Amino acid sequence: MALREAGSPTASLAPAPNADSVFALVAGEASGDQLGAGLITALRARYPLARFLGVGGPRMIAAGLEAWYPCEKLAVMGLVEVLKHLPELLRIRRDLLGRISQLQPAAFIGIDAPDFNLPLERKLKARGIRTVHYVSPSVWAWREQRAAKLGRSADLVLCLFPMEPPIYARYGVRAQFVGHPMADRFDLVTERLPARAELGLSAQAPVLALLPGSRLGEIRRLGADFLRAARRCQQQIPGLQLVAPMANSACREMFEQIAQSLGIDLHSADPTSPGHITLLDGRADEALLAADVVLVASGTAALEAMLAKRPMVVAYKVAALTYAIVTWLKLMRSTRYSLPNVLAGRDLVPEILQDACTPQALAEAVLRLFADSAGRVALVAEFERLHAHLIGDADRSAAGAIATLIGAPAAAPTAHDHPH
């Protein structure tokens, strides 16, 4: 399978359009900051004299970004929070529009954060500036028609998954699969024992990793179900070790509060005692690698578990009203929710959704995986195959695709939407 179109790492380095090439970038959260840092490094290899300006976090700044704003300014989630910060967000976007229009960079690259970046990209594209959107929204899952909207904003969409460019092609939008950076982070064949040693876990006793989500809302909805399911599993599997990486201190605090309300002592001295969980601050990769089976909230963590080659049970729960609206309006395009199943195009791993997501159902699915050693081996082989299809040396491939874009003649600015 060809993983890359233009922008292969083996391509020769393109000369800079001019000695003082400028790239403007806007990343809105930590994951975008990580993507942006790798992209800046790869672009600098092609354009050694280039300057990089815009919005980013510590990684992008360390890679050479001259930051006008920190990316934390844009990392606002939830309807109420967005409304509260809306005046400032609009002010920042107006300021960026003015600065970037005046700068006339070789390209503007919006990294994820579609609600903020796509309107900005659309206005910049109308002013004759080449625009790139890095990380496609999940058009394969719901509201496929958003692909056309992206085409009005971006000259080029850089995709992390191979099934995405064909969707954009249906709407006449230029899109390219560049590989998934996370696929470059994990080895194709992984081992358990080094991670268990790092985490102080027994090499012999089985391990279940719990990843109830990286947002407070996910932990609020899934935390109690995961804890109760884990306790059921410990009752059925002697010596079962539990490990739970927490995304941040707020998530850890909420998870501990939920455990306390259930009468579960997470911090007993014996790692194999009922209820004991080795809580980690971050270190999700190590927790996944140490595990035999993973119980995980649907999302990026399910992809991480797949890349770690760990059999998993995927739980998915959203607010009841949200689920009712999405179902009623038939907004979901895919019948599968977890990325391993979407990538495989079939049901590889169990997905336990909404009202069906109970402690008993989760525990039963986890116990089935522990009992089916042959099934686990087959899953690992399938995960290795899917992993290989995601490898694309994303940083260099993305830089190559951008170099190809800016080497082509620019589209003429549209007659409307010029700077005031």
Q: Are residues 241 and 125 in the same domain?
A: no
Strand order in the sheet with 65-70: 65-70, 51-56, 22-27, 107-111, 131-134, 156-159, 175-177
Whether 186 is covered by a domain: the verdict is no
Q: Same domain for 379 and 403?
A: no
**What percent of the chain is modeled with pLDDT above 70?**
82
Q: Does residue 401 share a domain with residue 274?
A: no
Nearest CA among 131, 110, 136 for reference residue 54:
110
Number of domains the chain is built from: 2
Residue 402 pLDDT level (bands cut at 50, 70, 90): very high
Residues 131 and 212 in one domain: no
Question: Per mean pLDDT, which range of 11-15, 171-175, 205-209, 361-365 is the poorest?
Answer: 11-15
Question: Within a domain: residue 76?
Answer: yes
**Looking at per-residue confidence, does 361 or 86 come out higher?**
361
For residue 331, pLDDT over 60 is answered with no
- Does the pLDDT at position 270 exceed 60? no
How high is the pLDDT of residue 71? 83
Percent of the chain with pLDDT over 90: 62
User: pLDDT value at position 89?
Assistant: 87
Q: Is residue 4 part of a domain?
A: no
Give the pLDDT score at 234. Answer: 93
pLDDT surpasses 60 at 388: yes
* Together in a domain, 273 and 400: no
- Considering the domain architecture, whether residues 105 and 60 belong to the same structural domain is answered as yes
What is the distance in angstroms between the CA of the first residue and the CA of the last residue of the chain? 48
**Whether residue 285 has pLDDT greater than 70:** yes
Residues 217 and 333 in one domain: yes
Domain that holds residue 234: 193-390
Same domain, 399 and 386: no
Least reliable range by pLDDT among 139-153, 190-204, 282-296, 386-400: 139-153
- pLDDT tens across 70-129, in order? 887 776 544 445 566 788 889 999 999 999 999 999 999 999 888 899 999 999 999 999
- Rounded average pLDDT over 293-303: 92
Is 20 or 416 the better-scoring residue by pLDDT?
20
**Residue 354's pLDDT band (boundaries 50, 70, 90)?**
confident
pLDDT at residue number 415: 44
CB within 8 Å of 118: residues ≥ 6 apart: 110, 133, 149, 150, 153, 154
What type of residue is 143? R
Q: What are phi and psi of 105, to 5 degrees?
A: -70, 165
Residues 41, 175: one domain? yes
Residue 218 token pair: 């996910």
pLDDT band for position 204 (50/70/90)? very high
pLDDT per residue as tens digits for the range 57-67: 999 999 999 99
- Quick one: 107 and 225 in the same domain? no
Least confident of 114-123, 140-149, 368-377: 140-149
Q: How confident is the model at residue 325 (pLDDT cuts 50, 70, 90)?
A: low
Q: What is the mean pLDDT of the chain?
A: 85
CA atoms of 318 and 332, how far apart (whole Å): 14
Residue 17 lies in a domain: no
Residue 127 CB: number of other CB atoms within 10 A?
17
d(CA 39, CA 29): 15
Higher pLDDT, 55 or 83: 55
Residue 41 lies in a domain: yes
Look at residue 220 and tell me if it is in a domain: yes
Is position 349 within any domain?
yes
- Whether 290 and 305 have beta carbons less than 8 Å apart is answered as no
**pTM greater than 0.85:** no
> Among 175-179, 236-240, 379-383, 406-410, where is mean pLDDT lowest?
406-410
Query: Average of pLDDT values for 277-305?
Result: 93
**Is 151 or 214 the better-scoring residue by pLDDT?**
151
Burial of 44 by CB count in 10 Å (0-12 exposed, 13-18 middle, 19+ buried)?
middle
Residue-level pLDDT at 341: 93
pLDDT, tens digit (0-9, with 9 covering 90-100), for 1-46: 233 333 333 333 444 445 458 999 999 877 789 899 999 999 999 9
Is 184 within a domain? no
User: 1-10, 300-309, 371-380 — which is least confidently predicted?
Assistant: 1-10
Does 310 lie in the same domain as 399?
A: no
Q: What is the pLDDT of residue 22?
A: 95
Q: Are residues 105 and 115 in the same domain?
A: yes
Please check the confidence at residue 361 and state whether its pLDDT lies above 60: yes
Give the pLDDT confidence score for residue 297 in this predicted structure.
Answer: 92
The more confident residue out of 71 and 372 is 372
CATH number for position 65? 3.40.50.2000
